[in-house]
Chain A
């Protein structure tokens, strides 16, 4: 009896986390079934592809910010950073006429560099993440407008650029499944990030920092350096988001981006990642992002007034987090 006592809650915890994932997934399926029953036009290949396409950018941003949130931080700059990465890609491709691959590297590199700067504000200068990234958010928005002279940069001179998000490698292989590349990239980014979180030292420190930063520091880990690395990785992922949105729009829109951070954070939260840090999964975030876009698309297909769409989305966020709270309360009692 006494011997097993310690392991019982451990198992409960594990199954609790799995149940939370299942819960989110079940909600997603329930939404899909509900909308499919409500409208014959919802469950069509083209509409499902549209939903996935709409998830790709928010999903990638959400994956990036999940890392930061697990460390117990927050990143408000991801929306405008995405735009800034898109703008820098435009500068390299359209203005300088460089080859496509350099544009791709620019987007990721710009994201990682800006992430590193945010990380430096947070880790070295000890500015609270909320403030540091709020500052970054505004600086990057301004820089995007300055660099572009407030006009969008179009990618008409770079053939193939729109293929990054809009083309379909899968569709070329399987004709019935025109899965946009943007979605494929989202899944790849999610898979790689999940691998990093679960298998590598960087991932381990991400959880450890969010769990008890002081304890990590006392264990002799250079917490500042690792935190900066995590912000840089998240920035690089956001850079990929910048590529996707600019490829989708065939342009870098300098005024875009504000508000995207909150949508990404909402997806992370719906996916069960705790804003308190230390806990979270990429799969959950992915499901959270899908729930959000299924919801918006479904309500639109049903011609629900846009005002009500906003209300419902807000309510879903509250319900999702409340369900998580209930689960946790249950787990802590068990």
Chain B
């Protein structure tokens, strides 16, 4: 097999960061080449160089053996390099077909757009993908998983010979992932070279032919996916061996009940949910996408307050109409979308940690006691091992795992003893994941009551003392920790009768 893409000695610097150090990478036609590494290892930067978004400062890129220049995304597209970005790059106010063909609209005279052809072509791509999708549906109305399908369709529409997928399954459920893999395998058979970035080890084993691991902006090595043990790949990524321990379920029979829900209901998304949570307990929430887990969390937190039902905190009923009420009751919520809801990205670590507790560090004139804050934030940086050069570093410059830790620090400082984690490790690399897991266990050990929502069953199984399962807004059951995946899936798909429509 010949080299479709060869990147040689790619170097890229940003102000203050040497992002890529003489990276070599190659892709053959008709293979799936996984690119792995912790966040910040340089995978995305490397791919942005290949797709014309960034210009490398050194090295060269060869396509079919010929050196090429990729001054802009268009040039890369013209060479048949398509990319599906990790942060979905869609225009929410446009519809599906309009998104796919943006920049390449079939035109009639006078600059008019041939909408009929636009829609027909888009429909054809979805037919080829075996996905049911209305090309006229506005993207903003689609779930993240469906939006991902649009991204893939868009990349396919370029008739790409090289397809870069940056964490394409982050928001997909199992059947959707299976669908995606079918598509990937078909493309591979047609001779397309696919660069596949993911943190999910099981996926790599299922789909990848070769694996290249990057660390700190350099290539660590390239191995055959089928022959290399996962532990070795992880070791390459983090530079050390990780141990995966099964969950130890503590005896909580004497523990005080921290949070109790009775008949919480909100619209169709959350229906008559009741459960209780003890101090020191980690309660996992499993379910398919759209089961209402996030909605339940947001209802508890008052972001979209419940329409009916009772919330009891430490034995006292509380009224939660807004997040401020929830915080006052000691409930903290770590959103699945950190960048939108959890962090002020442009502000520094110290300001973010203090964001919810500013009143405590403010004198009567409204002046902020920065010295005290510095001490406090440095304490949390040490305690949670947040990797940041100093507490004045802007949060957007931290890796995903460290951003997550900043959010945790924020709620700990606010004295929240009931913490709701919604997808705490989404977009976080393996090494940092294990660290977050350990952190959650430690927090529980200190007597915090913790709810974890995760779409990754292995993660829930590793963490949870009990596992609550939701389906279509209802709580279909609570299983003991370590329950089998089969039992969880059975509850997650237990629908309420068949007469839904």
Contacts and interface: CB of A to CB of B under 8 A. Distances in A.
B179 interface: no
Contact of B91 (A5, A9, A216): A216
A217 interface: yes
Interface in B53-96: 53, 72-74, 77, 83, 85, 89-94
Given A6-B142, A10-B137, A13-B141, A212 B111 contact: no
B366 interface: no
A325 to B, nearest CB: 16
Contacts of A214: 89
A23 B137 CA distance: 23
B140 A207 contact: no
Contact of B113 (A5, A14, A200): A200
A1 B500 contact: yes
Contacts of A202: 111
A208 interface: yes
A103 interface: no
A149 interface: no
Nearest to A202: B111
A201 B142 CA distance: 24
Given A199-B112, A201-B111, A6 B143 contact: yes
A210 interface: yes
B105 interface: yes
Nearest to A214: B89
Tell me which of A3, A7, A202 has the highest count of chain B C-beta atoms within 10 A of its own C-beta: A7
Given A6-B146, A218-B53, A219-B73, A212 B90 contact: yes
B365 interface: no
Contacts of B105: 201, 204
* Chain B interface main SS type: loop
Contacts of A220: 72-74, 77, 103-104
Contact of A5 (B107, B140, B290): B290
Contacts of A200: 110-113
B246 interface: no
B103 A219 contact: yes
A104 to B, nearest CB: 21
Interface string A1-20: 10111110110111000000
A13 B138 contact: yes
B112 A211 contact: no
B144 to A, nearest CB: 12
Point out which of A3, A9, A10, A279 has the most chain B C-beta atoms below 10 A from its C-beta.
A10
A166 to B, nearest CB: 32
B304 to A, nearest CB: 7
Chain A: number of interface residues, binned into ranges: 20 to 34
A211 B99 CA distance: 11
B91 A211 contact: yes
B141 A215 contact: no
Interface string B304-322: 1000000000000000000
Contact of B90 (A3, A204, A215, A221): A215
A10 B134 contact: yes
A303 interface: no
B501 interface: yes
Interface in B405-432: none
A44 interface: no
B464 interface: no
A4 B501 CA distance: 10
Contacts of B501: 1, 4
Nearest to A70: B93
Given A13-B141, A211-B91, A218 B134 contact: no
Interface in A66-102: none
A5 B146 CA distance: 11
A278 B94 CA distance: 8
Shortest beta-carbon contacts, A-B, top 3: A220-B74, A211-B91, A278-B93
22 contacts: A1-B501, A3-B132, A7-B134, A10-B138, A10-B141, A12-B141, A204-B94, A204-B105, A205-B102, A210-B93, A211-B91, A211-B93, A211-B94, A212-B89, A215-B91, A216-B91, A218-B53, A219-B102, A219-B154, A220-B73, A220-B74, A221-B103
Given A13-B141, A199-B113, A220-B77, 13 more contacts: A6-B143, A7-B134, A201-B107, A201-B113, A205-B102, A207-B91, A208-B102, A211-B94, A215-B89, A215-B102, A218-B85, A278-B92, A278-B93
